[in-house]
Amino acid sequence: MIGVGVIGAGKIGLEHLAAFAAASGARLVAVSDTSVAAARAAAEEFGILSVDSDPEALIAQPEVEAVVVAVPNRFHEPLALSALRAGKHLLLEKPMALDLAGARAIYSAAVGSGKVVMLGHQWRRVWWMEAMRERVAAGQLGDIYHAKCRWMRRKGIPGWGTWFTRKDESGGGPLVDIAVHLLDLAFELLGNPRPQFVTGATFAAFGPKQKGVGAWGEPDWRGYCDVEDLATALIRCEGGQLVSLDVSWAAHTDGNAVVLEILGDDAGLVYRGGELKLLTERDGELVDQVIEAPAAAADEKDPGRAAMTAEFLHCIEAGQTPLASAESGLNNMRLLDAIYRSAQCGREVPVE
C-alpha cells in the first residue's frame, strides 16, 4: 500500500482524494490545506488521520511516499521541487508550473530524482482518447498531417477575481486551464513531433468587463482579471505537421463542446461533444463509422481520473514512466510559452 499525501483540499484536491480512496494499492496518509477547516473536513470524509496547514510538514512525513499537488498554479514549482528533494513520487496538477522556467526546474529535478512524476492529465485515459490511440497505433489513419483542437466556452470564466484570473498566480487564462489538455492529447496522437514555430493571439474581451463569468468557483468582485479569455494558435512541427488551436472561457459562440480532429491521408478521427467517429472514403463513397463508448464510461463522474490514478500507482510499483510524464509537461509548457510570446509580439516565433 503506497502512502499518499494530498496538498490541497479544494475541488480538485477532493477529486484526487476520492480517486485514491477508491484505488487499490493506495493508503491516504495525510492532507494539507491553508484552510485548516477544509483540510479537517476532507480528513473526516476520507478517514485521514494527519491534517496540517503546512504542506512542508506533509512532505516531510516518512509515511508519505507519494505527494499529490493540487493547489493554485503559482505553488506548483516550489511544492513539486520540495517533494522531489524529499524523495517522494509526484502527481502534479496541470499546468506544470507558472511559466517555462519553473517547468524546466521541475523537469531537471524529476530527471535526477529517480521518482515517478506524472502530470494531472486525466484525459489521457478517457475512453475516446484510448479509442483514438488504438486506431492511430494500428495505422488506420495513414500519414497524419494535421490536428485541430477546439474548446470554445460561451460563458465559463472560473472564479472571477480569484487566483484563476490573476496572471501572477495562474500564469494565464484558458490556455493554461483547458487548452493544455487538448495540446497534450493532440501531440501524443501525432507521435510527439518537435514543434518549431508558433503563431498565436490572445484576447481579453470579456474578463476585464466582468462578463462571461461561469459557475466554477466563487467570484471575488473585489479582485481583478488580467488574463486572456480567448486564444488561438497555429503550431508548425518538424516534418510539416500542423496543429491548430481555438479555445475560450467566454465568447459569443454557439459551441461549448470539446473538439479534437486528427487527420490522416487514409482516415480521420473526429471527437466532438461526446461522439467519436472514424471518417474515410471507400470506392469513392464517404464512410462514417461511429465508435461507441463502453458502457462503463457513462457511469464515470470524473472521466479518466480513476484510470489515471491507477496508472500512477502502477508506475510506482513497476518503476515505469507514465504517459503524462515530466517530459510531456515540459513540452506542453514550451507550447504555451511560445503562444504567449507570439501573441505579445504579433508575429511567428520559434519554440524554445
Task: With beta carbons less than 8 A apart as the criterion, state whether 18 and 68 touch.
Answer: no
Out of 88, 94, 115, 167, pick the active-site residue.
94
Backbone φ and ψ of 175, nearest 5°: -60, -50
Can you say how many angstroms the Cα of residue 122 is from the centroid of all Cα atoms in its chain? 7
CB of 238 closer than 8 Å to CB of 172: no
Q: How many CB atoms lie within 10 A of CB 237?
A: 20
Give the CA distances from residue 325 to residues 96, 107, 109, 329, in Å, rounded to whole numbers and listed in that order: 10, 9, 13, 6
Strands (E), 8-155: 26-32, 50-52, 66-69, 89-92, 117-119, 144-152
Quote the DSSP letter at residue 341: H
pLDDT of residue 256: 81
pLDDT digits (tens, 9 = 90+) for 253-274: 987 889 999 999 999 999 999 9
Q: Supply the pLDDT for residue 295.
A: 85
Quote the pLDDT of residue 219: 96
What integer pLDDT is reported at residue 229 of this predicted model? Answer: 97
Contact 107, 326 (CB under 8 A): yes
Instruction: For residue 94, indicate whether it is catalytic.
Output: yes
If 0-12 CB within 10 Å is exposed, 13-18 middle and 19+ buried, where does residue 296 land? exposed
Instruction: Say how far apart CA 39 and CA 31 lie, in whole Å.
Output: 6
End-to-end CA distance of the chain: 40
Tens digit of each residue's pLDDT (9 = 90 or more) over 307-325: 999 999 999 999 999 999 9
pTM beyond 0.75, yes or no = yes
pLDDT-flagged residues of the chain (< 70): none
pLDDT value, residue 263: 98
In eight-state DSSP terms, residue 239 is T
